[in-house]
A = this chain, B = another copy of it.
Amino acid sequence: MTKIFFTPGPSQLYLTVAKHLEKGLIENVYSISHRGKQFEQIFAETTANLKKLLNIPEDYSIFFVSSGTECMERIIENCVEKYSFHFVNGAFSQRFYETAIELKKQPLEQKADLGSGFDFENVSIPLKTELICFVHNETSTGVMLNSKKIESFKKLFPETLIAVDCVSSMPYVDLNYKAVDLVFFSVQKLLGLPAGLGVLIVSPNALKKAESLSKRKINIGTYHNLLSLQKYASKNQTPETPSVMHIYLLEKVLEDMLKIGIKKIRNDTDKKAKLIYDFLDNDPYLSSFVKDEQFRSKTVIVAKMDQKTESLIKFLKERGIVVAGGYGALKDFQIRIANVPANSINNTKLLIKSLRLYTKQLKP
């Protein structure tokens, strides 16, 4: 049976991935040297496509690592001597905070309840803070922060670096990169690639910070420290042998997305999210886990029930639809739905129809 994956990572493969994967095989792309011209072209095209699609400033660097989780480690290692500040409202923002602890830094956290966002006006951040860390879209709870509010911190803290985890919101999120310094995402979410590649977008100021830590003999890591990544990226290469296959697939999928246009991709995402939330707001059994509309994620939608969702997940699976369970304490009473470009409006309607079919048969 053909399956439709509404899981938030790995997600449904983008429609053209199979075709590109095969073309890469036929053209021997997976055996080429990562020190040769052909790879350098792939690297250059991929970063050019990213800059074009996302409107990233020319003087920002783009690095390829292996996961979003790795990005968290490299960011803290390279941009924090002691003090990072973290907005924590779920498993992934918690992971970012704990990364700083594991690296023997002295991070602070501002907590919010699961399913909630932050009241940014009432947060106090110490002036000595070197890096403020946001998770734009908390994959575990379906809370999306307002990117304009994230950007506004740059005015308040012009000397502080800003990191934004966009693992499950890129390329939906429309960022002003000049107001942020370290942005990262994984390719297995909205980009629809197989998992195995993390992308890190870095401002000149973030590179300067890594340089200053390095000069002061602070451990910033080895082959994947920002300076090593930058040295190789300036030649369109990576320090180690990378997954050429992933970078090649990313180049091709970005090309496809450029043809469609980022506006349409974002509009379609909004439309599909509205369909799902409208359904949840009117269904007697299923409802949105995130109550406050301003924090409802457009890309990872968490629905909750008063009863366990196990049989719902099974019901959908029998119809070829795969959704994810919840996360953390309430996981058994939730489902998580990824709203990614690979899933069409029609597929989204099919999902909603199946959800409705399930709750209709439930007894009050």
Contacts and interface: CB of A to CB of B under 8 A. Distances in A.
Nearest to A25: B18
Nearest to A217: B104
Contact of A10 (B33, B104, B194): B33
Number of copies: 2
Contacts of A282: none
Interface stretch (A79-87, A240-248, A290-298): A240-248
A30 B194 contact: yes
B188 A69 contact: no
A197 B197 CA distance: 11
A9 interface: yes
A18 to B, nearest CB: 5
A70 B322 CA distance: 34
Interface in A206-239: 217, 219, 221-225, 239
A208 to B, nearest CB: 19
Nearest to A33: B7
A275 interface: no
A322 B21 CA distance: 22
Interface in A29-51: 30-34
- At the interface, is chain A mostly helix, strand, loop or mixed? loop
Contacts of A194: 30-31, 243-245
A102 B67 CA distance: 22
Interface string A65-79: 111111011000000
A28 interface: yes
Given A18-B25, A31-B5, A242 B104 contact: no
A242 B195 contact: yes
A12 interface: yes
Contacts of A219: 102-104, 219
A180 interface: no
B7 A241 contact: no
A150 interface: no
Contacts of A262: none
Interface string A1-27: 001010101111100011001100100
A300 to B, nearest CB: 14
Nearest to A98: B222
A244 to B, nearest CB: 6
Interface of A: 3, 5, 7, 9-13, 17-18, 21-22, 25, 28, 30-34, 65-70, 72-73, 95, 98-99, 102-104, 186, 188, 194-197, 217, 219, 221-225, 239-246, 322, 324
Closest 4 CB pairs of A and B: A196-B243, A69-B240, A66-B66, A30-B194
